[in-house]
Structure formats: C-alpha cells, structure tokens
Amino acid sequence: MQAGRSASLPQSEAQLNPFALPSSTTFRFILLIIAIVTASLYIYNYMYFTLPGKQQLSTIAIRDYNVVVQTHNGLDYFTAFVSRYKLNYLH
C-alpha cells in the first residue's frame, strides 16, 4: 500500500531529504552537557552544605575569614585566609 501511494505522489514530495540543512547538534549537545554538569554541581553543593555537620564547617570557615579580614587590612585576603587555614587545620 505504501509503494502505491508513493508512486502516485510527485517526485519532490515522495522523498524528503532530512540532511538538506546542516545539523547544529554538536553545539546543542555541548550545551546540554555543560548544563547537566552545572546543575549537578549546584545540587551537590547544596546537599553537601545542608547535611548535618557540614554547617559547622561553613560556620568555622566564615569565622576564620572574618578574623583574617579584621587582622590583615592591607593584605590579599585570600592568601591570608589560606595561610590561616593551613596553620589551623593542616598540621
């Protein structure tokens, strides 16, 4: 039945070429992967810091950062924070 129907249609309508236009799926695929990785990291970060015990770590980090900001006004805050962290937690 399909063969008889396609035979009665004009040649231009009988077979459409799906590859007539260039495919932009590579860019969309890369965007999909980036979106999935970003969303996964966001969700993991949220879950990591909402579990019991991890809130204490973030509280300690904020407290240490505030101490660094108050004591080292003219220095690079990140470098001072890392040196304080190494001094206190990495023996």
Query: pTM of the predicted model, to two decimals?
Result: 0.41
In a domain, 66, yes or no: yes
Based on the domain organization, do 33 and 47 belong to the same domain?
yes
- Domain span holding position 57: 52-91
Residue 10, both tokens: 């004009």
CA gap 31, 56 in Å, rounded: 36
Based on the domain organization, do 58 and 81 belong to the same domain?
yes
- Split at pLDDT 50, 70, 90, the class of 8 is low
Structure confidence by residue, pLDDT tens digits, 36-91: 999 999 999 888 877 777 777 777 777 877 777 777 665 666 777 777 777 777 65
In a domain, 14, yes or no: no
Based on the domain organization, do 63 and 75 belong to the same domain?
yes
Based on the domain organization, do 43 and 33 belong to the same domain?
yes
Enumerate residues 6+ apart whose C-beta is below 8 A from 72. Answer: 80
Residue 39, both tokens: 């969303």
Based on the domain organization, do 40 and 70 belong to the same domain?
no
Based on the domain organization, do 89 and 56 belong to the same domain?
yes
The single-letter code of the amino acid at 26 is: T
In a domain, 1, yes or no: no
| Residue pair 68/81 in contact by the 8 Å Cβ criterion | yes
Based on the domain organization, do 62 and 89 belong to the same domain?
yes
The total number of structural domains in the chain stands at 2
